[in-house]
Amino acid sequence: LQYIAHSARMRGVPEENMTVTEDFSRVENTYQMEAEVCIIFSDFGKMQNVCNLLIEKLGTSVTINPPHFYHTPEAIDTLRRQVCVTAVGNTRRKAQEVCQLFGQALGKPLLIKEEETKEWGGHIDSHLSHAADSQTLQERIQNATAYASCRVFAVFEIKGKENRRNKLL
C-alpha cells in the first residue's frame, strides 16, 4: 500500500489526488486486508508509467481497473477559452492576408464578437457503463475526448500603406 502511494508521489502525483481505502476483515483465524488506491491523473503518460511499474513490481497482488476518464469544469472552461482565442487569431491572420493582397495594412480590431460555440464528445464512462467493459483503451479515450469549435465575427481597421509610411517618418 505504501509502495503504491510512494510510486505515484515519486512520479509527480500530488497527495491530494490520491485516496486510500483500507478494509480489514477476519477470515477464520486470520486477518485479511484489502486496500483500494484511487489516483486522479491529469497526464495520461504518468498514469501509464505508474500502472506499468505497479504491475511489474507487484505482479498479481495488484489489480488495476480500467481508467475512468472525465473532464473537470475548469478543463472544459480552459478548452472553450483556447478555442475562442485561436478563432480570433485565425480571423486576424486571414484578414491580414487579405489586406496584403490589396496592398493595405491591417489596423486594430474595432469589433470582435463570439457568434457560436459548439462542443461535442467528452462522454463520461458512467454514461457508457454497459459498453465500457468491452471497449478498448483507444475507444475509451476517443469517446472521452472533448472537442469544441468557435465562430467569431471581427471587424478590423484597414490602413493604407502610404499612411503607415508617413507615420513612421
pLDDT of residue 132: 55
For residue 119, give the C-alpha cell: 462542443
**Which residues in the chain come in under a pLDDT of 70?**
1, 123-133, 162-169
DSSP string, 30-73: EEEEEEEEEE--S-HHHHHHHHHHHHHHHGGG---PPP-----H
pLDDT of residue 169: 43
For residue 64, give the C-alpha cell: 488495476
pLDDT of residue 110: 96
CB 83 within 8 A of CB 119: no
End-to-end CA distance of the chain: 73
pLDDT of residue 158: 94
**What is the reported pTM?**
0.67
pLDDT of residue 81: 96
According to DSSP, the residues that pair with 37 across neighbouring strands are: 20
Structural domains of the chain ordered from first start: 1-58 (no CATH), 73-159 (3.30.110)
E strand or H helix at 110: strand 104-121
pLDDT of residue 64: 86
Select from 40, 39, 45, 37 the least CA-distant residue to 62.
37
